[in-house]
Amino acid sequence: MSAADGSTLTRATYPIDQPFYDRLIGSRDQFTVVSETVTDHTGYGFRVAAGQAFRLTMLEAPQILDVCMANADDPTEHFFSGAQMTIEGGKITRGIRLWGTPPRSRPIATCIADSVRVQENVRGTRDHFAYGAHCNPHLWHLHAGVHHRPCYDNLRYGYAMLGLSQHAIHDNVNLFQKGAYDPYTGSAMVEESDARRGDHIEFYAEIDLVVSVSLCPNGSGSDGLRESWSESGPLVPVHPIGVTVLDTATRPPAWPPEE
């Protein structure tokens, strides 16, 4: 890749046992179901053991999911979007690892499936990104003048299901939200998801995880934040999702990688 001034830009590379992930992805049809849950609740929390995977499925229509992940034994180790941008970039799809906070600074989960067919466009927007944070009461007051139940409250509820407080909420990933950063202004752009009914994304747990999922009140996603809630409630539908925990029968690779 060449920059406009003629200099060459290179992307940092980090060690990855690619054959391990190729084998893991190739064995997906042998995964066994541990649990299957349908939730149309606004927030949902669950545990995933290291070596298990979890799948989030659009049962009726696309639904923005803000998802927090943390170490089940030490939730102060959690997904870290700053490190993610440096190491992997802002997009999430099959093959992208999700990185956690220092001092361990290691992959905590890896995306092993993503069925969304991206509608390519000049803005570079696509589903699933790593930098969007989550909507919160202050944001809704600023945009819509109301405070119903934003992602912050949903994530709080999901973690409460696991006995964790709101202090476990940190950086999150934004799944089934289509977006990008404008390269010139740096401002975030969002638009309607490309996902269809039945689309799913799947993550392999590199460590024992606690996961909190928010079904965002912005539904399938657009920049119509201001219009999507009113004093009387949501004006856009919030769609149910499937949460499936799977046993992969594959232990995570050692970290740091062995030479």
The residues of the shown chain that bind Zn ion, judged by CB under 5 A, are 135, 151, 216
Q: Which is nearer to Zn ion, 221 or 252 (CB)?
A: 221
- The DSSP call for residue 23 is H
Q: Which is nearer to Zn ion, 126 or 134 (CB)?
A: 134
Q: Go through 77-93 and write b for each residue having 16 or more CB atoms within 10 A of its CB, e for each that does not.
A: bbbbbebbeebbebbbe
Residue 35 or residue 166: which is nearer to Zn ion going by CB? 166
* Inter-CA distances, 144 with 22, 218, 230, 234, 236, Å: 45, 12, 7, 11, 14
Q: How far is the CB of 147 from Zn ion (least distance, A)?
A: 13
- The least distance separating Zn ion from the CB of residue 92, rounded to whole angstroms, comes to 17
Q: How far apart are CA 51 and CA 23, in angstroms?
A: 14
What does the block give as tokens for 196? Answer: 């269809």
Minimum CB separation of residue 135 from Zn ion in Å reads 3
Select from 257, 246, 198 the least CA-distant residue to 25.
246
List b or e across 25-46, with b for residues whose CB sees 16 or more CB atoms inside 10 angstroms: beeeeebeeeeeeebebbbbbb
Report in angstroms how near the CB of residue 140 gets to Zn ion at its nearest.
9
Residue whose CB is less far from Zn ion, 96 or 216:
216
* In the complex, minimum distance from the CB of residue 182 to Zn ion, in angstroms, rounded to a whole number: 21
Using the minimum distance from each CB to Zn ion, give the nearer residue, 151 or 207: 151
Q: Which is nearer to Zn ion, 57 or 154 (CB)?
A: 154
Which of these, 206, 246, 204, 249, lies nearest to 111 by C-alpha position?
A: 204
Contact assessment for residue 89 and residue 65, using Cβ atoms and an 8 Å cutoff: no
CB of 82 to Zn ion, least distance (A): 20
